[in-house]
Structure 1
Amino acid sequence: MGLTGTVLGAYGAHGLAASGASASLISAFNTGVQYQFYHALALLFMVLAMRVKTLKTLHVAAGFFTLGTVLFSGSIYALVLFGTKGIGFITPLGGVCFMAGWLSVLLAGRTWLRS
């Protein structure tokens, strides 16, 4: 996820402007990249945490973060790169997955502290 975020971020910074994309499309694309990076880092820290203590809620959070990235960032990438406007309803579903993932992390932390 970090690798593709880096590649897409570089394209967003250099290729999109050269292709004549509008400032609002470039901004949306960069938002997708930004959220992809946030959740790539969250996944990295969860993998490290799971090496110390395996909790089901951390696995659930990892699934939600991965699905959220595909839905949220992926739908933005599709909109900007291919003009796929009919899938705009998917972006908020990705946001809900991110929220569910963070809630799962919160529950994991509560479980961890109680044990």
Structure 2
Amino acid sequence: MHKRRGWTLVALSGLVVVMAGAFGAHGLQGHVAPRLLEAFETGVRYQAWHTLAAMAVLIWRAQQPLKGQRAVLWLWSIGMAAFSGSLYLLALTGAPWLGPITPFGGLLLMAGWLTLAICAWRQRPAH
């Protein structure tokens, strides 16, 4: 992922986190079932944490580019879109067909973390 593209995606994800969090707290309260509001909030929380983690990987990548960092960023980006996006849409529409998309997004997020672990393990120690 190109530096400019990566930082742009992270910034837009952060924007969505703030907007979705505010919408969930002020726009959905009392308009959707509590379980759907909880699902929406879970999507916001996971997106927020992965946005922060992606920022850390971008900083690490700028200091020490390593094979695998780019894959981590892509896995998290697609995973956030699938995981959080499906939860947002589920809360807004109640469409049950969105249910299977959420675990797929979660698997992508986990794959990103595993890829990060492998990438870190392969890093050469500084002498």
Shorter-chain TM-score tier: over 0.9
What amino acid is aligned across from residue 8 of structure 1 in structure 2?
Answer: A
CA distance in 2, matches of 1:92, 1:113: 34
Runs of 4+ in 1 over 2 A off after TM superposition: none
CA distance in 2, matches of 1:35, 1:46: 16
CA distance in 1, matches of 2:33, 2:95: 16
Corresponding residue for residue 17 of structure 2? 5
Partner secondary structure for residue 68 of structure 1: helix
CA distance in 1, matches of 2:98, 2:124: 40
What amino acid is aligned across from residue 111 of structure 2 in structure 1?
Answer: A
Corresponding residue for residue 27 of structure 2? 15
Deviation by residue 1:24-71 (Cα, 9 ceiling, x = unmatched)? 111110000000001000110000000111122111110110011010
Corresponding residue for residue 93 of structure 1? 104
User: Which of 11, 24, 44 lines up with 2:35 in the alignment?
Assistant: 24
Corresponding residue for residue 94 of structure 2? 83
What amino acid is aligned across from residue 10 of structure 1 in structure 2?
Answer: A
Q: Work out whether 1:37 is the aligned partner of 2:65.
A: no
User: Please, what is the CA RMSD of the aligned residues?
Assistant: 1.2
Q: Work out whether 1:64 is the aligned partner of 2:36.
A: no
What amino acid is aligned across from residue 48 of structure 2 in structure 1?
Answer: F
Which structure is higher in helix share?
1
Task: Say how many residue pairs are matched.
Answer: 114
Unaligned runs of 5+ in 1: none
Unaligned runs of 5+ in 2: 1-12
Partner secondary structure for residue 109 of structure 1: helix
What amino acid is aligned across from residue 17 of structure 1 in structure 2?
Answer: Q
TM-score normalised by length of structure 2: 0.85
TM-score normalised by length of structure 1: 0.94
Name the % identity: 37
